[in-house]
Amino acid sequence: MTVTPETIAVARKWLAQDPDPDSKAALEALIAGAEAGDAAAGAELTDAFSGMLEFGTAGLRGKLGAGPNRMNRLMVAYAAAGVGAYLKQLALFGNVLIGYDARHKSAEFARETAEIIGGLGFHSMLTTEPTPTPVVAFGIKHLHCNAAIVVTASHNPPQDSGYKVYLNDGMQIIPPHDERIAAGLLRTSKKPLFMLHRSTDHHMIGDELVTAYLERIARVVGNAGPRDLTWVHTALHGVGASVVRRVADRLGFAAPIEVAEQAEPDPDFPTVAFPNPEEPGAMDLAMALASERGADLIVANDPDADRCAVAIPDGLGGWRMVHGDELGVLLGDYLARRGIEGVYATTIVSGSMLARIAAAHGQPSALTLTGFKWIARVPGLAYGYEEALGYCCDPDTVADKDGISAAALVLAMAAEEKAAGRTLADRLDQLALEHGVHLSDQISVRVEDLSLITVAMARLRAQPPAELCGEPVDVVDYAEGVDGLPVTDAIQLRGETVTATVRPSGTEAKLKCYFETRVSPEVTARDLAGSKAEAAGMMARLKEDVQAALGL
């Protein structure tokens, strides 16, 4: 691609004030390459300066690099100034907690944020080391903060960084907060960086925050109950391992058998293609270790430890991942059986069994859009989950997904089942007998060209299938507003025994398709194995039907 003189001029202006020697050197090389006619350099430079990162899922997320369409120190400074300006509009002064993960540049971005926030007159509180996102979310109320910022890209690829914003309610921002912060970012970005006031007088938050978080988990889980469990843990090169070790010790469980290659933070994530336990191959090392050590259970966290994944023996000498919906209903059922009262919530793309479980225990349920910025806002929330391995088990203190408290409850639940001579697989079978087989799956289609997603969604809206798996389906377009939910780009096809939901990812360049097939409790009670096979057969056909409708 031939880069325009205007883009070169804008890039040089950016270069003149870039405070980061690494991104500055990379930008100098990119400009030189583009001017020499390197098409790849020209394309990269044009993309980096063709627009500005937009606030998406609770904040910013994008590739590291120079330019307004990348994550870098300038953009972080402008974002911090935008957050601070908006907090002033809301008259929310006082403490602002800032945490960060162990990705490339995260510590630098966090310090930049603390200095800009402090320069605006707030009391910046910066964690002393990389910290799990749920620990920072816990700290909002614990430390009486009016906002928090976490520099993290969660489970994105290693070249990405991100910026997650919470307000004093402990929840991720939603519209119009994100739009107003973005407007402040845009206004500030027109100023040279040297005009932004700074302060290095920020308070460092150390182990006292983690200790308080551990004590809260101990109160949620309880200190009584069986503790005999052999388990493997992987942090997938993230920041969760040290806190998980301490949780296990505090609750009286044996120390986890750790996947050594993945236990300590490494921003390059060398053993996985994507640092997400949902991705194929990410759990291979953990499964091999669990087989070698005769473990009962595998627990995994994503790099910022806000998600929790579980694998269990498959009965054939190997291991199988517990689907996010399966773990969601296991935890929901466990909490309901323990008498936790309130609303049990999940999302429009998650499975439907949780509502049945809640009703069986006399508790209400609710559906929200995807994301914990919506789940956490359900009035009277007792428990919420989304199928993408996110679980909120203690919303009063962590109003977000929390992979560490979820892991602690999974350990307690698995140990109780083991003491009774059962497994988590047995508990899943019991839930199927009570509520019918519910089988979930999904397909994610990664694209380089985002227009392909737009075309696929337009095609589905224009020509939705009248039937899936041979049964009539209703079309529910969430872009038109449904059941009082905010408008979003998602389409759901609902039948009596099948559901398919299609939407673009909010954090990555991919189209996501979510599927559920169901067999009634009456049929399941007569033949559990046959009902599972029936649901699996429907699932295969459902995927084919939806892919055909999308033209994929």
Pairing of strands 59-63, 160-167: antiparallel
CA distance 476 to 376: 24
Say how many CA atoms lie within 13 Å of 361 toward its Cβ: 23
Map tokens 């992979």 to a residue: 403
Residue 131, both tokens: 């910290």
Instruction: For residue 479, give the 3-state DSSP assignment.
Output: helix
> Is-cis flag, bond preceding 267, omega within 30?
no
**Residues contacting 222, CB < 8 A, separation 6+:** 412
Residue 278, both tokens: 């949902």
CA distance 357 to 533: 23
Burial class (CB in 10 A: 0-12, 13-18, 19+), 294: exposed
Residues paired with residue 30 on neighbouring β-strands, in sequence order: none
Pairing of strands 59-63, 95-100: unpaired
Say how many CA atoms lie within 13 Å of 373 toward its Cβ: 18
CA distance 252 to 250: 6
> Is residue 251 within a helix (H) or strand (E), and if so which, with residue range?
helix 241-251
| Positions of E strands within 369-452 | 381-386, 390-392, 437-446
Pairing of strands 145-151, 59-63: unpaired
CA distance 153 to 145: 22
Residues paired with residue 438 on neighbouring β-strands, in sequence order: 518
How many helices (H) and strands (E) would you count in the chain? 19, 22
CA distance 391 to 127: 24
What interhelical angle do 5-17 and 39-48 show, nearest 10? 70
Helices (H), 294-423: 324-337, 353-360, 372-375, 403-419
**Residues contacting 72, CB < 8 A, separation 6+:** 18, 20, 23, 64, 65, 66, 105
Q: Which residues are catalytic?
A: 154
Are the C-beta atoms of 181 and 83 separated by less than 8 Å? yes
Burial class (CB in 10 A: 0-12, 13-18, 19+), 449: exposed
